[in-house]
């Protein structure tokens, strides 16, 4: 009865919630969110600069998150580049002096804070032509005003940070008068530079010394309100040129209890204020990827404009065909109620009509517009990643519970059958997605375990392509072009739309490279197929000889970085593998799991030979080997798995631990998953569904789930991280599935089976991309 209820429950869910309905809900959600964020920007007031300076929250200890944007952590060399030939002056009391030192330490980390209470200090960087001054003005009075007036004669770019000493409430009115008198010089200074007025930080009244007991948070709040009123009253065109720095005050509200004297802030809090200032001054100049605050959106380049015209033209062509009645199109295939995946029709599908490719490009254009809005336009918000064990392990447990809930009987019980490999790719991809969005790379044990998953993907690449060529013997151009198109279509479109190099999406170049290597290895003379090897066992030695040659090829590249770079730095190959003008990143990615593919090929060869010799028992419910051998292999696999996991959990250094290759863990997993007959007879349709779109999921996450080219997190629902993840994930998965269908549709049109037509299209494609390569 429980099993029946379980099965009926799943069927009831799947009948009402299909992938088609999910996509319609996603489209409606995107439209609503787009309207909401547009209204928030233009009618709610504020931009990313104001958000950076005014509000935020602590994600964890010493990790500050501004509202709605990402704050870059500046290094010394970046700060020096930004501030070269500039003057930065800090005017105020002892707390501003501390902010001054925190700011200087970003530029020069070795700089020590002077314990003497000097009233004037200058830090000069001769090679940069940069000056940074601190001037002691504890009160906003005529002396400060005269100093500001004198600075209106100073040319060049400079920033002034001003604060006041907490005075008595009786002096509040005089303070307003003084500040009003200073507002005009401040505005004039802001015409040529940046002026920041630092709102007073709170105090811990309980631990203040007796001579500071008159300073209260209520009093400080009155002074802050007065400063805001006076400076906002001097607005021009609805905005004051003097910027109010309130973020450090908000950070201090959470940390003031850590103050030693109740007045001066902990160093970590002062560092937040200094880094906020650095981001405000430098982000638009240096444009760091993970610093979205205070960055103006660059205009689209020529290729991005051309891509927009192509998608728009496709939409017009589709509309024209539709009006003219060209509705000859493949009949939609009804979805499988259980798996939510489209069933393959029993008969061959009708050829796509002339309207179909334009419809596919029109859909792709809408999706690419969403990509652009998410990660290239200033529409949606972005936040930094922050790792905690709960943000990684709780979603991990949740998805594995769902995976078990959707367990099904497998249609076949062979080792690594299609359903099982889809399941394998699916759960690995989900783990990798959680790993990326949680920022778990900061935790080395998790990083080392995820490394196994990436190596396992490459293992499957070697296993799958070797099995196909060994069994089918199809080395034709059509097959090659189909694989290359399906692997690269989305990435090539993103390279144009998102203005990123091909190597930026490193996994696709990696699997593309290994497919070409596998093809070349097996297609070169003599072509050895299973049919030929069945006639003579000597051909098996020929396959092993090819694999040995491939191993030597890999080793020659792996152990000579100079040789590797000399090969891949040659034009036009360099255009595919360079990132920021160097192939070093490609070298790192390639070398990391360099033996995974050949391990997959070798495993496929041994398995298929054993299968042909009928050594394996692959019947339903049957153990793969005899009882003794099966138990021994399961024991050794479990020991290997646990041993690697213990070693990986004790890793302290990524560079050293990367030299350890986790291939024994992959083999152990395959044996544990396939030796018991009952394990081969079941699979998770939930994981398998994601496995069918694993490539699209991996690529799409760069821009519509993560943000800032994977450095941050896309924020569609501000103020509610849990709801935001649910909504953005729902849309992200729907988009990935749709792109998978679009790729399949276009592959049928772009890659014809006729060899002559295919060669002509390849020639035309070569002429089309030649200008891009030359550039």
Q: Which residues are the active-site residues?
A: 94, 261, 264
Q: What is the DSSP letter of 528?
A: -
CA gap 386, 422 in Å, rounded: 31
Q: Is the peptide bond before 61 cis (omega within 30 degrees of 0)?
A: no
Cβ neighbours of 349 (radius 10 Å): 11
Q: Which helix (H) or strand (E) holds 731?
A: helix 721-750
Q: Which two tokens stand for residue 95?
A: 């707390």
Decide: helix, strand or coil at residue 661: coil
Q: How far apart are CA 251 and CA 240, in angstroms?
A: 24
Taking the CB of residue 310, how many other CB atoms lie within 10 A of it? Answer: 15
- Return the exposure string of 399-419: e unless at least 16 CB atoms fall within 10 Å of the residue's CB, then b: bbeebeebbbebeebebbbbb
Q: Distance from CA of residue 22 to its chain's centroid?
A: 24
Is the bond into 766 cis (omega within 30 degrees of 0)? Answer: no
Helix (H, G, I), strand (E, B) or coil at 47: coil
Helix (H) or strand (E) holding 124: strand 120-125
Spell out the residues 6+ positions from residue 108 whose beta carbon is closer than 8 angstroms to its own: 76, 123, 125
Whether 733 contacts 744, CB under 8 Å:
no
* Nearest in space to 716 (alpha carbons), one of 700, 727, 730, 701: 727
Indicate the burial class of 249 (C-beta count within 10 angstroms; 0-12, 13-18, 19 or more).
buried
How far, CA to CA in Å, does 40 sit from each of 29, 31, 543?
A: 16, 14, 63
- Nearest CA to 383 out of 62, 74, 708 is that of 708
Cα–Cα distance measured from residue 558 to residue 552, given in angstroms and rounded to the nearest whole number: 10
């Amino acid at each position: 009865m429980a099993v029946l209820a379980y099965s009926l429950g799943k069927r009831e869910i799947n009948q009402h919630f299909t992938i088609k309905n999910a996509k319609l809900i996603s489209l409606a959600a995107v439209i609503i969110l787009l309207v909401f964020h547009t209204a928030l920007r233009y009618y709610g007031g504020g931009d990313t600069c104001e958000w950076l300076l005014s509000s935020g929250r602590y994600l964890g200890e010493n990790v500050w998150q501004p509202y709605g944007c990402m704050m870059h952590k500046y290094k010394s060399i970046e700060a020096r580049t930004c501030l070269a030939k500039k003057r930065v002056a800090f005017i105020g009391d002892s707390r501003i002096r501390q902010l001054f030192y925190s700011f200087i330490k970003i530029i020069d980390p070795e700089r020590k804070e002077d314990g003497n209470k000097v009233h004037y200090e200058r830090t000069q960087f001769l090679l940069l032509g940069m000056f940074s001054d601190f001037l002691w003005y504890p009160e906003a009075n005529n002396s400060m005003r005269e100093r500001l007036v004198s600075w209106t004669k100073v040319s060049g770019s400079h920033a002034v940070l001003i604060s006041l000493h907490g005075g008595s409430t009786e002096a509040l009115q005089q303070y307003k008068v003084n500040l009003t008198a200073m507002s005009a010089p401040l505005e004039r200074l802001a015409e040529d530079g940046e002026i920041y007025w630092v709102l007073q930080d709170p105090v811990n009244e309980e631990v203040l010394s007796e001579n500071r007991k008159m300073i209260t948070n209520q009093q400080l709040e009155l002074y802050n309100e007065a400063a805001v009123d006076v400076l906002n009253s001097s607005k021009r065109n609805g905005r004051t040129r003097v910027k109010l720095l309130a973020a450090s005050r908000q950070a201090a509200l959470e940390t003031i209890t850590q103050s030693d004297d109740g007045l001066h802030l902990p160093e970590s809090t002062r560092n937040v204020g200094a880094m906020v200032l650095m981001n405000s001054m430098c982000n638009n100049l240096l444009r760091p990827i993970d610093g979205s605050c205070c960055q103006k959106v660059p205009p689209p380049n020529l290729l991005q404009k051309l891509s927009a015209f192509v998608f728009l033209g496709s939409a017009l062509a589709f509309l024209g065909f539709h009006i003219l009645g060209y509705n000859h199109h493949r009949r939609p295939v009804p979805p499988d109620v259980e798996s939510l995946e489209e069933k393959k029709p029993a008969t061959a599908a009708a050829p796509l009509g002339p309207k179909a490719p334009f419809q596919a490009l029109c859909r792709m254009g809408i999706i690419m517009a969403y990509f652009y809005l998410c990660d290239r336009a200033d529409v949606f918000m972005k936040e930094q990643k922050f790792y905690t064990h709960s943000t990684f392990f709780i979603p991990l447990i949740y998805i594995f519970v769902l995976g078990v809930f959707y367990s099904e009987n497998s249609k076949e019980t062979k080792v690594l059958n299609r359903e099982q490999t889809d399941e394998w790719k699916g759960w690995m991809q989900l783990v990798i997605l959680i790993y990326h969005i949680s920022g778990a790379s900061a935790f080395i044990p998790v990083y080392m375990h995820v490394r196994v998953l990436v190596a396992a993907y490459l293992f499957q690449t070697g296993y799958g392509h070797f099995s196909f060529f060994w069994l089918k013997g199809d080395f034709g151009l059509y097959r090659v072009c189909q694989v290359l198109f399906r692997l690269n279509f989305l990435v090539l479109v993103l390279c144009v739309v998102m203005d990123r190099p091909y190597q930026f999406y490193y996994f696709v170049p990696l699997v593309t490279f290994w497919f070409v290597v596998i093809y070349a290895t097996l297609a070169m003379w003599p072509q050895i197929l299973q049919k030929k090897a069945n006639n003579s066992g000597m051909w098996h030695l020929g396959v092993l000889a090819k694999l040995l040659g491939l191993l030597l090829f890999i080793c020659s590249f792996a152990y000579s970085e100079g040789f590797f770079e000399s090969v891949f730095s040659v034009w036009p190959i360099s255009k595919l593998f360079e990132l920021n003008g160097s192939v070093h990143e490609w070298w790192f990615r390639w070398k990391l799991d360099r033996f995974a593919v050949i391990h997959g090929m070798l495993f496929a060869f041994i398995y298929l030979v054993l299968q042909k010799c009928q050594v394996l028992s692959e019947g339903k419910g049957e153990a793969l080997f005899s009882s003794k051998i099966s138990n021994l292999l399961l024991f050794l696999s479990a020991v290997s798995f646990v041993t690697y996991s213990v070693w990986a959990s004790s890793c302290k250094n990524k560079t050293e631990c990367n030299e350890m290759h986790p291939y024994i863990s992959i083999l152990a997993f395959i044996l544990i998953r396939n030796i018991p007959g009952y394990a081969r007879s079941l699979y998770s349709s939930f994981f398998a569904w994601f496995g069918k779109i694993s490539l699209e999921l991996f690529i799409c996450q760069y821009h519509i789930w993560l943000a800032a080219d994977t450095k941050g997190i896309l924020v569609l629902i501000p103020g509610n991280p849990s709801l935001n993840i649910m909504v953005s994930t729902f849309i992200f998965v729907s988009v990935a599935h749709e792109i998978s269908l679009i790729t399949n549709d276009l592959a049928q049109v772009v890659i014809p089976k006729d060899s002559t037509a295919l060669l002509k299209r390849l020639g035309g494609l070569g002429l089309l991309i030649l200008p891009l390569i030359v550039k």
